[in-house]
C-alpha cells in the first residue's frame, strides 16, 4: 500500500459527518505546459477527492496535476472508501471536487431505477437533477464509460467473428455448449445483470452454464479458458494486459457510466477557472486511454499519482521542472 493509500485508509470518512482527517500535497512538482498559470487560482486551496479504486484515483490525480500546474494549492484527498463516503465528503465541503460517474449519479445518488441509454441524455439528466436537488455541478462528461460488458479472448473473438453482444447470442444459439459465462454472484441474479441481458437480447439464461467468481478473478478466468464469456468493467486495465476483447452492447442494455468532474455549485461560482482548466483534460480522456493508465497501476504496479503525472506530461498539459 502506498503512502497516500495508507494514510487515507486510516483517515476514513466519519459516520457522524465530521469529515476527513488528513490530506497531503502532491508528492512532486509540475510546471505549466498547455495548461498555463491562472492568476485567479494562484494560492487557492483545492481539496481533490476520489473513491478507493484504481481508475478513480488516477482521475483524481489527473485533476490534481492540472490544477497544480495552474497555480492552485492542491490538497490530496484521494482514496476515500466507498461512493457514498466520497459523495458525502463533497456535499459537506471536506473536498471541493471529485470525479464521478453518470450512471452512479442517476441510480445510486438520485434514486432512479431506469437508466437512460443515450450517454448524452443520461449526463444531462444527472447534471440538471443533481444541481437542482443538491447544489452539485457536473462539468462536461468525458468519453470514459466504465460500464458493464462481456469480454472474450482476442483469439476467441477472431475465431468466431465476435464484435457485439448480439454476435455472442447468435453463437450460443447455434452452439449452446459455447454458452459458458464467468459472472459475479450478484450480477448473475440481478435484473439489471445477467437475467436482464438475457431478456433484452432474447436468449434463455437457463440454457447457459454460469460460473461465479469475484470480479478480479473473472479476467484471469476468461484469459485461461475457464469460460467463453466473462462480465467485465469496460475500462479495466486487465482487458488490455490480457488481450481481451470487449463486446459492444449493441442494444444499449447497460447504463452509461461516463466519468465527469463534480463540484459544489458555490465552489464553481467562486472559481469558474477550475472548469476551464479541466475541460481540455476531460476531452482528451477515452476508454482506451484510461484502460492503459489503469493497467500501469494494476498490472505494472506503478503509483497512480505518477501514472497520472506522466500521462499529463506526454499529452503536453504539464511539464516536470528540471532537477
CATH of the domain at 182: 3.40.190.120
Q: Are residues 139 and 229 in the same domain?
A: no
pLDDT in tens, 110-123: 999 888 989 999 99
The three-class DSSP label of residue 75 is strand
Q: Are residues 288 and 262 in the same domain?
A: yes
Q: What is the pLDDT at residue 100?
A: 97
- Identify the DSSP state of 140: P
Q: Are residues 117 and 168 in the same domain?
A: no
CA-CA distance, 293 to 61, in Å (whole number)? 12
CB under 8 Å to 133, separation ≥6 — which residues?
Answer: 110
φ, ψ dihedrals at 209, nearest 5°: -110, 125
Q: What is the pLDDT at residue 192?
A: 79
Q: Are residues 154 and 200 in the same domain?
A: yes
Q: What is the pLDDT at residue 259?
A: 98
The three-class DSSP label of residue 4 is helix
Q: What is the pLDDT at residue 114?
A: 85
CB 49 within 8 A of CB 98: yes
Q: Which residues of 92-121 are buried (b: 16+ CB within 10 A; e: fewer)?
A: eebbbbbbbbbbbbbbebeebeebbeebee
Residue-wise DSSP of 255-314? PP-BEEEEEEHHHHHH-THHHHHHHHHHHH--HHHHHHHHHHHHTT---HHHHHHHHHHH
Q: What is the pLDDT at residue 11?
A: 39
Q: Is residue 118 part of a domain?
A: yes
Q: Are residues 80 and 175 in the same domain?
A: no
CA-CA distance, 160 to 237, in Å (whole number)? 24
Residue-wise DSSP of 213-265? --HHHHHHHHHTTS-SEEEEETT-HHHHHTTEEEPB-TT--SPP-BEEEEEEH
CA-CA distance, 44 to 55, in Å (whole number)? 26
Structural domain total, the chain: 2
Q: Could you list the mean pLDDT of each consecutive 10-residue stretch along the chain, which spans 323 residues?
A: 36 40 80 98 97 95 98 96 94 98 94 90 98 98 96 97 98 95 91 91 95 91 97 94 95 94 98 98 97 94 97 98 78
pTM of the model: 0.86
Query: For residue 191, what are the domain limits?
Result: 148-246
Q: What is the pLDDT at residue 3?
A: 34
Domain stop point among 218, 246, 274: 246
Q: Is residue 80 part of a domain?
A: yes
Q: Is residue 218 part of a domain?
A: yes
Domain stop point among 246, 279, 311: 246
β-strand pairing of 318-319 with 31-32: antiparallel
Q: What is the pLDDT at residue 23?
A: 65
Burial class (CB in 10 A: 0-12, 13-18, 19+), 301: exposed
CA-CA distance, 200 to 251, in Å (whole number)? 8
pLDDT in tens, 221-240: 999 999 999 999 999 999 98
Amino acid at each position: 500500500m502506498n503512502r497516500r493509500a495508507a494514510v487515507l485508509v486510516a483517515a476514513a470518512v466519519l459516520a457522524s459527518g465530521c469529515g476527513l482527517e488528513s490530506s497531503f500535497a502532491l508528492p512532486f512538482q509540475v510546471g505549466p505546459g498547455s495548461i498555463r498559470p491562472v492568476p485567479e487560482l494562484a494560492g487557492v486551496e483545492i481539496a481533490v477527492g476520489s473513491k478507493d479504486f484504481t481508475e478513480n484515483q488516477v482521475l483524481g490525480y489527473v485533476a490534481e496535476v492540472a490544477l497544480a500546474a495552474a497555480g492552485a494549492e492542491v490538497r490530496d484527498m484521494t482514496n476515500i472508501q466507498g461512493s457514498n463516503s466520497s459523495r458525502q465528503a463533497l456535499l459537506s465541503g471536506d473536498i471541493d471536487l471529485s470525479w464521478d460517474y453518470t450512471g452512479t449519479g442517476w441510480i445510486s445518488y438520485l434514486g432512479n431505477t431506469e437508466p437512460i441509454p443515450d450517454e448524452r441524455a443520461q449526463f444531462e439528466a444527472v447534471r440538471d437533477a443533481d444541481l437542482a436537488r443538491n447544489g452539485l455541478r457536473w462539468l462536461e462528461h468525458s468519453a470514459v464509460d466504465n460500464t458493464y460488458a462481456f469480454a472474450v479472448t482476442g483469439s476467441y473473438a477472431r475465431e468466431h467473428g465476435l464484435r457485439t453482444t448480439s454476435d455472442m447470442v447468435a453463437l450460443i444459439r447455434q452452439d449452446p455448449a459455447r454458452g459458458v459465462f464467468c459472472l459475479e454472484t450478484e450480477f448473475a441474479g440481478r435484473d439489471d445483470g445477467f437475467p436482464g441481458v438475457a431478456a433484452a437480447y432474447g436468449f434463455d439464461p437457463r440454457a447457459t452454464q454460469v460460473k461465479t467468481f469475484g470480479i478480479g478473478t473473472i479476467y484471469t478466468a476468461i484469459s485461461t479458458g475457464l469460460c467463453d464469456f466473462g462480465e467485465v468493467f469496460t475500462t479495466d486495465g486487465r482487458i488490455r494486459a490480457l488481450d481481451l476483447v470487449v463486446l459492444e452492447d449493441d442494444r444499449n442494455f447497460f447504463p452509461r457510466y461516463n466519468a465527469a468532474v463534480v463540484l459544489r455549485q458555490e465552489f464553481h461560482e467562486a472559481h469558474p477557472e477550475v472548469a476551464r482548466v479541466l475541460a481540455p483534460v476531460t476531452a482528451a480522456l477515452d476508454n482506451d486511454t484510461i484502460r492503459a493508465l489503469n493497467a500501469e497501476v494494476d498490472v505494472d504496479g506503478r503509483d497512480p499519482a505518477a501514472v497520472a503525472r506522466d500521462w499529463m506530461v506526454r499529452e503536453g498539459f504539464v511539464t516536470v521542472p528540471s532537477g
